[in-house]
Amino acid sequence: AQGGIAGVLSPTDTFDSHIDDTLVAGAGLCHRDAVEVTVREGPARLKELVALGAAFDQRSGEFDLTREGGHSARRIIHAGDITGREVQRALLAACDAQPHITFFQNTAAIDLILDRRPHTPAGSRCLGTYALMEDGSIERFLSKVTVLATGGAGKVYLYTSNPDVATGDGVAMAYRAGAKVANMEFYQFHPTCLYHPEAKSFLISEALRGEGGKLRLKGGQTFMDRYHPMKDLAPRDVVARAIDAELKRTGNDCVYLDMTHLGRAYLTERFPNIYATCKAFNIDMAVQPIPVVPAAHYQCGGVVTDLHGRTNIPGLYAIGEVSCTGLHGANRLASNSLLEGLVFGHRAVQVAAEELASLTLPK
């Protein structure tokens, strides 16, 4: 996650505007209740994240809000162009400060443990998970509440912005256990992933187009004005399909994202990580356009949950990209992903605490 987190933090922005932008991007398939919950509760969750230590860019004492495709206002809070890294740093530091939280690194969940299989309408409860430990042994982790937060399945595609661990294991485990799964046909493609034979899964953030970047063909011609009134800032599915259509029409391998008109000083300050990575591949984005292709980016469907992250299997929750909350519909609005994780993570904790208080640990 490079670009940032969407949230209504400006006095000139409104909840209704963010809700409408999300519904439009989702192509009519969003669940409005999920959209409203996420948008309206988002600012409070962002402030909690700041209180936990996440440092976001500011200008003159206010958050430096940027804009991305599909948004009608500047509402993206960010930490340079490495927002996800900063969020992860802050959250891991907060967890490390809690003595009752234990991490098991290099450990892979294999399957969910149920009190009876298969799950039936009469019900079965999730009791934890089997896991492959770093030394090769299999261990049981028994729990009153189990939360899937395993991300998507982008590695099934040739071009993806996802890391190697994004192989859909969480959805597969939940499906085998009898959890409801929906909307898996809706996979969002990010329009701009770096096209280079030595580059692997490097995303070129939508924030570049939010700050004035222009998509061009090999000959330098722009083309997005032929596809959508918002041009380069159209929703991701529109831009990705437009690029795909142009590649098929021209026979070229990629298109180009032109940032050269913004100057080196601005680019190195605003996008230091992207600038440095491109430079490592001998692409100086201050003087030459960046070669890009669409890449699988986000799984819009997943394990079906209610508005508190609960699945149809008691004791099993799903948060983030592995889940299908109804927020995204057929296409996620830019920077709504981390927002969803914050809001639904918080809501899940609220009901899970009640559930924990009423149960005894499985034997």
Are 181 and 324 spatial neighbours (Cβ–Cβ below 8 Å)?
Answer: yes
Give exposure, 327-342, as e/b (b: 16+ Cβ within 10 Å): bbbbbbbbbbbbbbbb
Vertex 46 angle, CA 42 and 48, to 5°: 120
Q: Enumerate the β-bridge partners of residue 62.
A: 59
Burial of 314 (0-12, 13-18, 19+ CB in 10 A): middle
Q: Is 236 a catalytic residue?
A: yes
- Name the catalytic one among 75, 236, 332, 347: 236
Cα–Cα distance for residue pair 6/74, rounded to 1 Å: 9
Burial of 268 (0-12, 13-18, 19+ CB in 10 A): middle
Three-state secondary structure call for residue 297: strand
Contacts of 34 (CB under 8 A, 6+ apart): 307, 325, 326, 327
Question: Before 118, cis peptide (omega within 30)?
Answer: yes
Are 331 and 300 spatial neighbours (Cβ–Cβ below 8 Å)?
Answer: yes
Cα–Cα distance for residue pair 141/109, rounded to 1 Å: 9
Are 21 and 35 spatial neighbours (Cβ–Cβ below 8 Å)?
Answer: no
The CA-atom distances, in angstroms, between 59 and each of 56, 62, 239, 287, 353 are 10, 5, 30, 27, 38
> How many angstroms separate the most distant Cα atoms in the chain?
68
Question: Could you list the active site residues?
Answer: 236
